[in-house]
Structure 1
């Protein structure tokens, strides 16, 4: 039976009734009476105690526990909270040739994220490739390819900005939330290790700090092969995770997968190679054209949020998102009527892709 916390008024009324029952002639309800003041103080104490016990009761079971109590529950199944990680990657600098850029030279984004070079480089032919790492851990350090960063303490002779390379700056992740930790803990409880089952691969992928979603495709390239698509929802780019994220998953699972995960090398029949592959799916945006009634900014935002939730929940690599579910999602946004012009059928992702919500046009 769930513990229900009475209101302060209810506790005050109960306490007054108890005093009247036990003390003949008592009038605790009278204004400014001594008994009334004592009853009110007692009700306040009881209200606080009820609040403590209601909150404590949530910590008594793993599926409602929070904070340190959730971490204690998760530790029973060897699940620990994922710690923040720093983003890193390459960027291009330009300027006069022969300019030395020492390790520790800093650049920053317009949003205030600061990075430093990890090694000494010297410009040649008017350019140099920098290896950057964020000073502070967290998803705020991730940058898309082509992002422009400004020098904090640039050596003279260099252009005022540097450009993030094709791979972006990735791998940054915030401290795992209670919801994320709880989901992984429940996954471990409900699907314990089975020596390399599909659930094992999903669990292993989600153990890697930046990864928030994972999809497992056994026998993707035939017998002895497993492909795991991974997503880092903090990553902003054409794929759902950075190259660094994918490499981290590949390394982590390679150290844990069964030794029998081997596939035949198509270029050398009779020879077997690693059959496991971690991949970041390529985003395949699906654009919508629709009109709604009533057409307000609030209703537009509600429709876009409903469609975004649909794609986050239902989209899988190389899979489809039901057209009928799109209609249901739009209709559930609290509008009176709508007309969907596009898409007109169920979209399906190509190999290596995953459907995402594109732009919504309101004619």
Structure 2
């Protein structure tokens, strides 16, 4: 194992080595030797630093971000790019009016959306396709959220609500931690002609997907069922468009004889009831964060959330000294395809 010496250690070594090579007369002038020792030690320390850096880069789990991206690309594991949210807004106006491509709608917080194709309005509110100008999860927008047309058009309502499907599929660029985990998984579980790990890796390659589970033969012989979540979205359960995107991605890579079903887990919200001590806003927020983190770590399709782990999560919240968990009162058991999600907290 390479252990980088400190600058002080290198100075001491160099000084000692230099002085042992000087005569008694030369030692009288050892102040010069001290200067020389420090100069040489400084140069050696820089070289040791470079060697230390190289030692980190040749190991995948310690490589810096730039080197990690290059290592991963050699194994054909690429960083998932940020993706723009998209969907429709419902525009009201005079029939026959045209909303032209590249027209800009803006959300109240300043996020902008661009119209992606010319759309002629009908007599009823018309669905106009839009896409977030800036890629990322910030573009995801709930149904009925009002967007404002930045350049008003005569005869067209400037404010248009997002339709019932919302603006979805927006995701941030993949984090280095996620890329590193997928890269190491690729090395440890190489492609194997359609094994369980292959389907998991394919699903995780789709932007926004953070966890995936594979169930062979769930729909019968020759079938593979894939469930996944988008852990950075709210909610994490994918919508039909997001499911379709993963289905299409896997269909391009699966063995030709496999019948693959990509489905969303069925969300089962857990409604917590807690009597908290001390009952302050800060401690409530800490408890909520801990419970959400617990579900993010342990929730999976068909997985049981243990009551002891729920109590443990509450107890580890900053500021909590005591609590009574009124609900749930037993382990929360999920059936096949069901997945526990956060259903809010009632404070007693």
What's the TM-score, normalizing by structure 2? Answer: 0.86
1:304 maps to what in 2? 288
C-alpha distance in 2 between matches for 1:49 and 1:362: 59
* Residue correspondence of structure 1 range 146-295 to structure 2 within 5 A: 146-237=144-235, 240-261=237-258, 275-293=259-277
- 8 Å CA contact retained: 1:286, 1:357: yes
Query: 1-side partners of 2:284 and 2:42: how far apart?
Result: 45
Pair 1:315 & 2:268 matched:
no
SS of 1:169's partner is coil
Aligned pair partner of 1:356 in 325, 334, 341: 341
Residue 339 (structure 1) aligned with residue 311 (structure 2): no
Residues 51-110 of structure 1: CA deviation (Å, up to 9, x unaligned)? 433333221111222323212322343222222222211121123333221122111223
1:224-258 per-residue CA deviation (whole Å, 9 max, x = no partner) reads 22221122233334x62233322221111112222
SS of residue matched to 2:80 = coil
Please state how far the C-alpha of 1:199 moved relative to its aligned partner: 1.2
* Alignment map for 1:59-74 (pairs within 5 Å): 59-74=57-72
Instruction: Report how far residue 295 of structure 1 moved.
Output: 5.3
Q: Which residue of 2 aligns with 1:269?
A: none
- C-alpha separation between the residues in 2 aligned to 1:226 and 1:290? 40
Q: Deviations over 1:137-183 (max 9, x none)?
A: 22222222222222122312222322122222222222222211111
Separation of aligned partners in 2, 1:355 and 1:221: 22
Per-residue CA distance 1:22-75 (angstroms, 9 max, x = gap):
5564798xxxx7766665555555544444333332211112223232123223
Distance 1:6 1:301, change over 3 A: farther
User: What is the rounded CA distance, in whole Å, between the counterparts of 2:241 and 2:55 in structure 1?
Assistant: 41
- Give 3-state SS (helix, strand or coil) of 1:140's partner: helix
Look up the SS of the partner of 1:180 in the other structure.
Answer: helix
Change (3 A) 1:312 1:16: same
Deviations along 1:292-324, one digit per CA (max 9) or x if unpaired, are 455565554443333222211111124321112
Mean Cα displacement is larger for which, 171-180 or 246-255?
171-180
Alpha carbons of 1:100 and 1:189: their partners in 2 closer, same or farther (altered >3 Å)? same
Seen in structure 2, the aligned counterparts of structure 1 residues 26 and 318 have a Cα distance that, compared at 3 Å, is farther
Match of 2:135 in 1: 137
Q: Which runs of 5+ in 1 are unaligned?
A: 262-274
Aligned length: 344
Structure 2 CA distance for partners of 1:39 and 1:232, relative to 1, 3 Å: same
Gaps of 5+ in 2: none
SS class of match (1:168): coil
Cα offset for 1:131? 0.8
CA distance in 2, matches of 1:320, 1:4: 45
Greater displacement, 43-52 / 281-290:
43-52
Structure 1 Cα separation of the partners of residues 76 and 67 of structure 2: 14
Single out whichever of 301-310 and 126-135 deviates more from structure 2: 301-310
Contact in 2 for aligned 1:66/1:178 (Cα 8 Å): no
Match of 1:80 in 2: 78
What secondary structure is seen at the aligned counterpart in 2 of 1:251?
A: helix
Q: If the length of structure 1 is used for normalisation, what is the TM-score? A: 0.82
Aligned pair in 2 of structure 1 residues 13, 259: CA closer, same or farther (>3 Å)?
same
